[in-house]
Amino acid sequence: MNKVVALLKLTRIEHSLMLVLAVVAAELIVKGVPPTWLLVLSVIPAILISMGAFAINDYFDVKVDMLNKRKRPIVVGAISKQAALKVSIACFILGVFASAFINAYAFLIAAIFAILAFLYSYKLKELLLVGNVYIAFTMVIPFIYGNYAVADTIANITILISLIIFLSGFAREIHGMIRDYKGDVKGRNTHNIVSVMGTEKSAQFALSLYLEAIAFSIFMFFFEAPFAYNLVYAVIIAIVDVVLIYVGLMFIKNRMTRKQFDLSRNLSLGAMALALIAFMLSALVYVPI
């Protein structure tokens, strides 16, 4: 693993790309196409702070990753702990600094998110529900941030989409806890939903959260512009909903292997990215049914 690849793996660059989609989608839905300078500038803090968040998580989670046999860059020796810490701090500082050139709302959201990202990796993830809710909320923050990058108030549609993202993100986080249960408990004595409810009931709870998110996505098709009776939205979100149901059922029906865990992770991540694309394209193209 060369240094560039190791850095991209450390900072989970694929998640940063998803945040770009979320920020741009929010801006398009709330205000239409923003000026080019604002469009470019607004995604920089999201990318950098996300990179910093993942780097600091790996810094604190070396023991957990070793117990879970996850080949993170620090675990395999591709990047040192100190280098990961420096990368994280640099990303946080640069991300928050860039947000100051957008507006006060964007700066405040970026600064709070950077602080919470550090606190989560340091301690919050060990607390029942607090860490779990935080992770789900991190998937919502980029959409709220994108809203405030172009407006002074939060739009009703932003709240609704944020709810969908939060529910599906929470479900995905529970699946991640099921996957990493052994290492989290032994490595950091993490007290989370899975340690309290058990893997079977946690999987059922995650599926119920996915179903609630799907119900809201269907509601938007009937009642919320620009999604109402929009063929673009209907086709893409239908694919997303089917994939999420499939992933939820995987955890209920199977004793998961590492290969199946990886498949579920990739499917759910892809589905959430596709949902963001559905939101973004629907704001640009309306094809009536």
Could you read off the pLDDT of 105-144 as tens digits, one per residue?
999 999 999 999 999 999 887 776 777 788 888 889 999 9
Q: Is residue 136 part of a domain?
A: yes
Alpha-carbon 129 to chain mean position: 17
Q: Is residue 202 part of a domain?
A: yes
Q: What is the CATH number of the domain that holds 97?
A: 1.10.357.140
Q: Is residue 289 part of a domain?
A: no
List CB contacts of 202: < 8 A, sequence separation 6 or more: 174, 177, 178, 193, 194
Model confidence pLDDT, tens digit, residues 75-93: 999 999 999 999 999 999 9
Query: What's the confidence (pLDDT) of residue 253?
Result: 77
Model confidence pLDDT, tens digit, residues 224-272: 999 999 999 999 999 999 999 999 999 987 677 878 888 998 999 899 9
Domain membership of residue 20 as a residue range: 3-284
Using CA atoms, how far apart are residues 246 and 6, in angstroms rounded to an integer?
A: 32
Using CA atoms, how far apart are residues 71 and 75, in angstroms rounded to an integer?
A: 6
Of 65 and 46, which is predicted with more confidence? 46
Using CA atoms, how far apart are residues 261 and 65, in angstroms rounded to an integer?
A: 15
- Domain count within the chain: 1
Q: Is residue 91 part of a domain?
A: yes
Q: Is residue 62 part of a domain?
A: yes
* pTM > 0.75: yes or no: yes
In this predicted structure, the answer to whether residue 173 has a pLDDT above a threshold of 90 is: no
Q: Is residue 254 part of a domain?
A: yes
- Supply the mean pLDDT for the chain: 91
The single residue listed with the structure tokens 């239409």 is: 32
Q: Is residue 63 part of a domain?
A: yes
